[in-house]
Amino acid sequence: MTEASQHGPERGREYDDQRVHGGRPPGAPHEPQTRHERHEAEPPVEGPLHALAKAAWQVVLVTGIASLILGILVLVWPGHSLAVAGVLFGLYLLVSGVFQLTAAFGTHQATSLRVLAFISGALSILLGLLCFRGPMQSILLLALWIGIGWLIRGVTHTMAAISDPRMPARGWQIVLGVLTFVAGIVLIDSPFRSVAVLTLVGGIWLVVVGITEIITAFRIRHRAKQVPQTV
């Protein structure tokens, strides 16, 4: 009886101290007491490199699928594709012409530059309006536009490669310039047939690019999984 009366109060005081200093009131929420517990309770923050890697493969995948679908549509309906390209080309000429006219009247450039901008803008609007007269006119103007562009680019590229002996792969650059020049002449000489062939080549190219980008997207996804989430 004496030992029980001596140990009983001491055990009661120790139990009360543990409840006061080490415990928490009933119903109180649990709070992590250490840094390790607090780190485990909070979800890890996604790092910028991990987020960029995760978004990169999705963008490449969407681009590849869009290129593949567009290439298939061009190969299945080449006539409709040419008509749509002609309409878009007409819209481009109209918009660029309006901007050039705005620049001619609203800028403080020299008078000669403003006159050139006005003439170029007026011609662009006129050619854009001709594109909407019919699909044949728009296709013809598109072919001539591309042909003249290739012709000028071929001449300038060839002359730059010939005049600069330090240009890398100078021989191939000269060959590329000559081929671009010849392609421009062919496109100007027979625009409708050349545009049809160009449409076929463009459709095949879009399909190849789309398949390549889809494969690349899945490879990027595999690499993205190896990037730590917190990086």
Residue 199 in tokens: 């449409």
Residue 118 in tokens: 């006005």
Integer-rounded Cα radius of gyration of the chain: 36
Long-range contacts of 87-90 (CB under 8 A, 24+ apart): 87/131, 87/132, 87/138, 89/131, 89/138, 89/141, 89/142, 89/145, 90/127, 90/128, 90/129, 90/130, 90/131, 90/132, 90/138, 90/141
User: What pLDDT was estimated at residue 1?
Assistant: 46
Q: How far apart are CA 184 and CA 180, in angstroms?
A: 6
The three-state DSSP-derived secondary structure of 158-218 is HHHHHHCCCCCCHHHHHHHHHHHHHHHHHHHHCHHHHHHHHHHHHHHHHHHHHHHHHHHHH
Per-residue pLDDT of the chain (231 residues; tens, 9 = 90+): 444 444 545 555 544 555 544 555 555 555 555 554 454 545 555 556 656 766 777 888 888 898 889 889 888 888 888 888 888 888 888 888 888 888 777 766 677 777 888 888 888 888 888 888 877 778 888 888 888 888 888 898 888 888 888 777 778 888 888 988 988 898 888 888 888 888 888 888 889 888 988 988 888 787 777 666 665
User: CA dihedral in degrees (144, 149, 154, 160; nearest 10)?
Assistant: 160
Q: How far apart are CA 228 and CA 164, in angstroms?
A: 48
Residue 231 in tokens: 């990086």
Are the C-beta atoms of residues 155 and 161 closer than 8 Å to each other?
no
Residue 201 in tokens: 């080549």
CB atoms within 10 A of CB 152: 13
First to last CA, the chain: 67
Residues 6+ apart with CB under 8 A from 88: none
Residues 6+ apart with CB under 8 A from 54: 224
